[in-house]
Structure 1
Amino acid sequence: MKTTSLLILLLFCLGLQAQPNFITNVDHRTNTSLGGKWKYIIDQYSTGAIGFSPLYENKSPKDKTDRVEYSFDDAQSLWVPGSWNSQKDELYYYEGSMWFRKTFDYQPKLKNSRVFIYVGAANYKTQYSFNGKKLGEHEGGFTPFSFEVTDLIREKDNFVILGVNNRREPDYIPGMVTDWYNHGGITRDVKLIEVPQTFIDDFTVSLNKESLTAKEKAIDGNVVLNGKDFPADATVTIPELGISQTVKIDAEGEGTFSLKTKKLELWSPENPKLYTINISAGEDQLTDEVGFRTIETKGKQILLNGQPIFLRGISIHDENPIRRDRANSVDDAKLLLGWAKELGCNFARLAHYPHQENMVRQADKMGILLWEELPLYWGIDWKSDQVLENAKRQYAEIIHRDKNRAATIIWSIANETSPGTDRNRFLGAVADYVRELDSTRLLSAACKKDLAVDGHPDNDYLVSDPIAEKLDVVSFNEYIGWYGGAPEESRKKTFIIAYDKPVIISEFGGGAIQGFHGDSTTRWSEEYQEYMYKENIAMFERVPGLSGMTPWILVDFQSPLRQLPNVQDGWNRKGLVSETGQKKKAFYVLQEYYKTKQTAARK
């Protein structure tokens, strides 16, 4: 894992206007929520000004002769966090710019503290300013960012303004077309973070894989401080294990450690054991809950803690269907992961972009392994070096946030992209970069298959995407019975995997309207979806090296691509659970299959 100081330098070089600081573990620091009602002004032309007056300055007329053509004070309000589309009917399809203002007074909780504003996510490009000073810009709709306001904050009448633009562009990530809803606005928490003048900026910790079979396990890690005057050392303690170590801090504010213990319980889906880890340095203290496990591959197997595991998974969108909004709370995470647990899952694919941090932390607690990915999806400009650097930066941000989560075992670099010279170069560079940042997890991508194979019968499908050379796990999407042929055609299909690696079926499935019934040949009926799941599962059982699957998808979700009246009505209907929380018949097919896989694994 690269050090945080190098990461910050890289992100600065990749285009942020102000020196970035990507604070992690925000809920374990002194923090104040800035959530609630925020004033907003629509900026449909995305000029950043109304009546030629910059919105970030938050102007008011000085006297009766002064001209200011906007007013945050008199503007309407929206809830933050939350997408603007879900809160007002007239904003449902709005794509463009909107400027949000929050005013607050400030009484510091710490003496002589530094103050940062942390934004969990805002979709897609955000300009941020504080008390009338423009500070910078962040690109990416699903990754966190923060900015320091220590020298600008005051006791009374502070205001933070975020100008958020969710307009789709060809050189963005994702590109112009997605099969999910483009929720605009400040979609995740905004917090005021206080830290000492020199603080624990970051830490990394993981189980040393080489010590897995030893009686004494080794927990390796590093600590990174931020400030001007670094203490000579820091202390790392895991009280439950009775271990502690003094860590020498170098001139760059960094130190490494290795803790030894004979008592360690390994984290797994059956035993999601988390340990409290305490780090102190100078005036600062930081606490987190961390699980320890190893993940690797051997031939066609995935090994968790050295033992083969079958990943009983499901794909999930970061959306609460009942609220019809981007998920942003612990309750949202519990709702979605609770359905996954009821299904029998020990694994979930967080599609198609980084999900809220609550999802990852709840998975840590509930024992659900995770696949996380970036929206390198349809229509990416593979030729653009600027887009490539944007992809690297966004991946750095999500790895920086989630690298200490035991649940996360796979970083995925793409979904349903077609091989080609430019695409292969682009994704190869992303794969190398992600592995450089984090070599402790597996790499994968949801690939396509070849429909015709020279010298083979028509029923042979070849999975041979060249990007898989860079990956640890070969994954592919397959929709026989929905986008091609009838479900029973699954019986004739054979898959040839070009690599001696484990295989995950990253997508399969089809649509059904919950409550609509017919025979197994009637499209959109629960019976059709049920029948297709039975046929598809039997087919995938014949795939060489099958190590898991994440069918598409847990819950019906909103998508502008899905407009069939009285059937879709703006919803992708491939969920096993409806948008009202009702389970479809295919839910129980997959649940029963996972019961058999779980029983077989115990023998």
Structure 2
Amino acid sequence: MKYSIFFLFAFCSLIGFATDFRLSDPKDIALAPVQNNIRNVLDLSGIWRFKKDSLNIGEKMQWYKGLSDSRAIAVPGSWNAQYDDMRDYLDWVWYETETYVPSSWKGQKIFIRVNDATYSAKIWVNGKPLGYHEGCHVPFAFDITKHVNWGVANKLVIQVENQLSPERVPTGNVQGGSFQSFPASNYDFFPYSGLNRSVVLFSVPSSYLRDITIKPSFEGSKGALNVTVESVGGINKGRVYVHGQGKTIEVPLVFKNNRANVGVVIPDVRLWCPEDPYLYDVKVVLGEGNEQMDIYNLKTGVRTVSVNEKSILLNGKPIFLKGFGRHEDFPALGRSSSNSVIIKDFGLMKWAGANSFRTTHYPYDEENYNLADREGFLVIGETPGVGLYFAGDGDSLEKRQQAMTRYIEEMMLRDKNHPSIIMWCVANEPGENAQIGKMGYSSDEVKEKAYNQFEKLFKQVRKRDNTRLVMYVGVMFGPTDWFNLTDVIAINRYWGWYSSPGNIELGAKTISTELDRLHNKFKKPCMVTEFGADAQAGMHSVNPEMFTEEYQKEFIKAYLDVADSKDFVTGMHVWNLADFKTSQGLIRFGSYNLKGVFTRDRRPKLAAWYLRKRWNGQ
């Protein structure tokens, strides 16, 4: 009898949790918060109160009503980087701040938007449960209108944890995983935790624009924007204004079931490209005349992306992607947002002659894409699906699949209107099993199931966006048949480093042979999305030796020479722009991946100077 009572209590608790903590709606992050004469934004960045909860007793003890014995923490910020005693701590913590909501916001809908809580978060407002989100590097938002207290400070409390699990994406604590490290992540970068990006309040009118999707195209000198608008509140009219090159084009909107779609024709269009990243201003208005209920402004570029057997085509012309993989990683900041670091990194990439980067291995802070739009960088937008695998426990597999499905939805909703993004990367180095190199042990049944699951993710991306290319990045010894799903063959390769270490010549021959084989089989353009070698800054040798700056430079040179000899190689991304923090492991001296051509604090190594000379044609 006592067991029946126990399970009844547990079941009721789950029902209570599901009722009190609703899941966030991805549609609420489709439009970034903006300040204009109708909408409002209040950034809550600053020093918050913070408390560790290693026993997970905070909710039972009602810490959501206010934290006692707390310490200070910066938001945004990674707790592992701010406190030495919490460097490897990944369990529960609590954040608290207080804020007034301006009285001028009365009568509007008020939302809270958390731009990244790694990995899962619960939110309370004024002691009342609000909502729950699971997943990292993507924002989530909740309507808090009914919870707001006017004229007094409002208490905001967020519980966060970043426990590593095989059920999550990216995965951790995987039996036989690829990286034997501490903390036990199944990926090669440090699992920084917390509120790593800003938290903001924003308001919208009672009838408002919920989503805007812009798909550009052109034919000859005539450009076109297909604009789809979704609204809330039943207003049935509106307008789209497109301004550029001194002219404004105005098109009416007619909503049916809160949805409208129009085509905007742009004569004498000015195309977006790295050499001329021209952006058109788009203003969408809900309502007409003096009854303008909502206004939203954004920028877009007119360009097309396609492929042939040998090249990626931007606006119908072949383009070669020169660039880097990057990480949002910097001393003291961990993985937290910093506009200063974004500006610095873009400056270094331009200095080196790069025109592109991949958001390794997760969606970046939105300011990266805004700046890429303005500066003309080509971006491969990547999900957090790093180290993804499709075997093992059925429940874990299904939870990973669900996580990936949601990630794709959230990432594409947030980032879909950036002209800089030319490709979506579904996953980095996925495999059938958790352990890289174990592919030969998979049965045909396991391989087929893995392929089918992976294919579903590709179909999801293509259904949502038919204007960009889709790819994944293949790992050494990984399955190659999966490239049937892609528009571009993208591989990470380290022949001459992890395999045949010290032998750059053999490594170059191996990558050359492999590229030929892949292109002959799939007849698709190829790119190497990672290649490089660790180099300890200041370590030198007359003859290139592993871990010296000379070896790193010669390794990169050899791979670039191979690419130059093949007309079907359409891009080369050096791994990495800058050294970055990792978990502790035998192959990571000092817990750093030292493959950056810049040090972690952005000082150039010999390879950076070499790339500057080569990529700038000097």
- Alpha-carbon separation, structure 2, partners of 1:89 and 1:172: 26
- SS in structure 2 of the partner of residue 535 of structure 1: helix
Deviation at 1:181, TM superposition (A): 1.0
What residue number does 1:25 align with?
32
Q: Secondary structure at the match of 1:26?
A: coil
1:259 to 264, 272, 279: 264
Instruction: Read off the aligned partner of 2:543 and give its amino acid letter.
Output: S
The correspondence of residues 580-595 of structure 1 with structure 2, limited to 5 A, is 580-595=601-616
- The residue that corresponds to 2:382 in the other structure is 373
How many matched pairs? 548
Q: 1:18 Cα shift?
A: 5.6
The Cα RMSD (Å) is: 2.1
Are the counterparts in 1 of residues 352 and 616 from structure 2 also a CA contact under 8 Å? no
How far 1:449 moved relative to its partner?
Answer: 4.9
Q: Secondary structure at the match of 1:109?
A: helix
Asked if residue 172 in structure 1 is aligned to residue 168 in structure 2, the reply is yes
Matches within 5 A, 1:314-333: 314-319=324-329, 321-333=330-342
Separation in structure 2 between the aligned mates of residue 109 and residue 181 of structure 1, nearest angstrom: 43
d(CA) in 2 for partners of 1:198 and 1:583? 52
SS at match of 2:357: strand
Instruction: Work out whether residues 170 and 379 of structure 1, in 8 Å CA contact, stay in contact via their aligned partners in 2.
Output: no
| Correspondence for 2:79 | 84
State the 1:552 CA deviation: 0.6
User: In percent, how many aligned pairs have the same letter?
Assistant: 27
Aligned equivalent of 1:490, options 500, 507, 512: 507
How many angstroms apart in 2 are the aligned matches of 1:380 and 1:471? Answer: 18
Change (3 A) 1:324 1:39: closer
- Which residue of the partner structure matches residue 62 of structure 1? none
Change in Cα spacing, 1:16 to 1:151, as seen in structure 2 (3 Å) is closer
| 1:518 maps to amino acid | S
Q: Specify the code of the residue in structure 2 equivalent to 1:56.
A: Y
Shift of 1:437: 1.3
Distance 1:323 1:343 in 2: 26
CA contact (8 A) 1:220 1:259 kept: yes
Which residue does 1:235 correspond to in 2? 239
Give 1:378 deviation, angstroms: 2.2
- For 1:18 and 1:378, how far apart are their aligned partners in 2? 26
> TM-score, normalization: structure 1?
0.87
Pairwise CA distance, 1:582: 1.1
* 3-state SS, counterpart of residue 314 of structure 1: strand
**What's the offset of the Cα at 1:583?**
0.6
Residue 443 of structure 1 aligns with an amino acid whose one-letter code is V
The separation in 2 between residues aligned to 1:446 and 1:19, in whole angstroms, is: 29
- 1:524-563, aligned counterparts within 5 Å? 524-543=547-566, 545-562=568-585
Once the two structures are superposed, what CA deviation does each residue of 1:317-336 show, in whole Å capped at 9, x if it has no partner? 122x2444214132221111
**Residue pair 1:236, 1:245 contacting (<8 A) in 2 also:** yes
Which one of the candidate residues 453, 459, 469 is aligned to 1:426?
Answer: 453
Residues 506-555 of structure 1 deviation map (CA, whole Å, 9 limit, x = unaligned): 11101001111113332211111112112222223345610001111000
Moved more, 344-353 or 292-301: 292-301
Name the SS of the counterpart of 1:100 in structure 2: strand
Contact kept? 2:388, 2:428, Cα under 8 Å: no
Write the distance in 2 (CA, Å) between the matches of 1:594 and 1:249.
49
Runs of 5+ consecutive residues of structure 1 not aligned to the other structure: 1-11, 59-71, 451-462
Report if aligned partners of 1:17, 1:135 keep a CA contact under 8 Å in 2. no
The corresponding residue for 1:312 is 322
User: What does residue 569 of structure 1 align with?
Assistant: 590
2:195 corresponds to which residue? 186
Amino acid at match of 1:296: S
Distance 1:298 1:561 in 2: 43
- Indicate if the aligned counterparts of 1:201 and 1:224 stay in contact, CA closer than 8 A: yes
Paired position in structure 2 for 1:353: 362
- Indicate if the aligned counterparts of 2:241 and 2:250 stay in contact, CA closer than 8 A: yes
Q: Secondary structure at the match of 1:360?
A: helix
Q: Is the 8 A contact 1:30 1:109 kept in 2?
A: no
- Matches of 1:19 and 1:298 in 2, distance apart? 38
Q: Secondary structure at the match of 1:317?
A: coil
1:170 and 1:464 mapped to 2: Cα distance? 21
Work out whether 1:119 is the aligned partner of 2:114.
yes
Identify which of 335, 345, 349 aligns with 2:344. Answer: 335
Contact 1:395 1:434 in 2 (8 A): yes
Residue 56, structure 1, aligned to residue 81, structure 2: no
- Aligned in 2, Cα 1:214/1:580: closer, same or farther, shift over 3 Å? closer
Q: Per-residue CA shift, 1:7-30, capped at 9, x if unaligned? A: xxxxx9xx9536562252213541
Distance 1:445 1:18 in 2: 27
What residue number does 2:97 align with?
A: 102
Aligned to 1:500: 523
CA offsets, 1:119-173, max 9 Å, x none? 1111001111211121221111110000000111012131111111011111000
Deviates more, 1:536-545 or 1:255-264: 536-545
Q: Deviation per CA, 1:446-480, whole angstroms, max 9, x where unpaired?
A: 11355xxxxxxxxxxxx971221111111111101
* 2:280 paired residue number: 275
Assess, with a 3 A threshold, how the Cα gap between structure 1 residues 18 and 219 changes in structure 2: closer, same or farther. Answer: closer
What is the aligned counterpart of 2:302 among 273, 279, 292?
292
Going from structure 1 to structure 2, the CA distance change for 1:557 and 1:18 (only over 3 Å counts) comes to closer
| Structure 2 residue 268 is the aligned partner of structure 1 residue 247 | no
Give, in whole Å, the separation in 1 of the partners of 2:168 and 2:22: 16
For the 8 Å contact 2:556–2:574, the answer to whether it is kept is: no
Q: Which amino acid aligns with 1:79?
A: A
Q: Distance in 1 between matches of 2:508 and 2:188?
A: 29
Q: Are the aligned partners of 1:131 and 1:158 in contact in 2 as well (CA < 8 Å)?
A: yes
Cα distance between partner residues in 1 of 2:427 and 2:23: 28
Gaps of 5+ in 2: 1-17, 173-185, 288-292, 433-446
| Cα distance, 1:406 vs structure 2 | 0.4
Structure 1 contact 57–132 (Cα < 8 Å) conserved: yes
Q: How far, CA to CA, are the matches of 1:225 and 1:269 in structure 2?
A: 34
Amino acid at match of 2:305: I
| Equivalent pair of 1:520/1:531 in contact (CA under 8 Å) | no
Q: Deviations over 1:278-336 (max 9, x none)?
A: 111131111112212111112221110111111112111122x2444214132221111
Say if 1:312 and 1:346, in contact at 8 Å, map to a contact too.
yes
Does structure 2 retain, via aligned residues, the 8 Å contact 1:487–1:536?
A: no
> Is 2:463 aligned against 1:436?
yes
Report deviation, 1:111.
4.8
> Secondary structure of the equivalent of 1:172?
coil
